[in-house]
Amino acid sequence: MKTQSEVICIPRTDIPFGWKFFCPFCHVYHSHGTGLGHREAHCTKETPFSKHGYYLIEILTCPACKNTIVRRSDNDRNCPECGQYVKRSEMIPSIELRAQKVI
């Protein structure tokens, strides 16, 4: 059985594009190009991600209905709760992730 790991990513802050997430095994941020979906693991040692990689997802708040939304694909442009078309730039990163971004 294939293991599917999902990691919550946030925008990179060192450059104006791309993603990063804090790896719970390497204890550092791994950076990736922009776009949700599957990636090969950037872990430099053997971790539970090494073999199958992981899926980048993002957690956002819909500006229209204020519901928390988990996005797994860049094609998910409509809010699954209210159906509103929302651009990524209009989505509000979750409070938890905003806190993480400050680090």
Residues lying near Zn ion in the complex (CB under 5 A): 23, 25-26, 43, 62, 64-65, 79, 81-82, 84
Smaller CB distance to Zn ion: residue 70 or 82?
Answer: 82
CB of 40 vs Zn ion, minimal distance in Å = 11
Smaller CB distance to Zn ion: residue 20 or 97?
Answer: 20
Q: Which residues contact 51 (CB under 8 A, 6 or more apart)?
A: 3, 41
Three-state secondary structure of 66-83: CCEEEECCCCCCECCCCC
CB of 99 vs Zn ion, minimal distance in Å = 21
The span from the CA of 97 to the CA of 4, in Å, is 22
Q: Which two tokens stand for residue 55?
A: 């899926």
Q: Is 37 helix (H, G, I), strand (E, B) or coil?
A: strand
CB of 62 vs Zn ion, minimal distance in Å = 3
Q: Can you give the length of the chain in residues?
A: 103
CB of 20 vs Zn ion, minimal distance in Å = 11
Smaller CB distance to Zn ion: residue 34 or 84?
Answer: 84
Q: Which two tokens stand for residue 100?
A: 């993480």
Smaller CB distance to Zn ion: residue 79 or 97?
Answer: 79
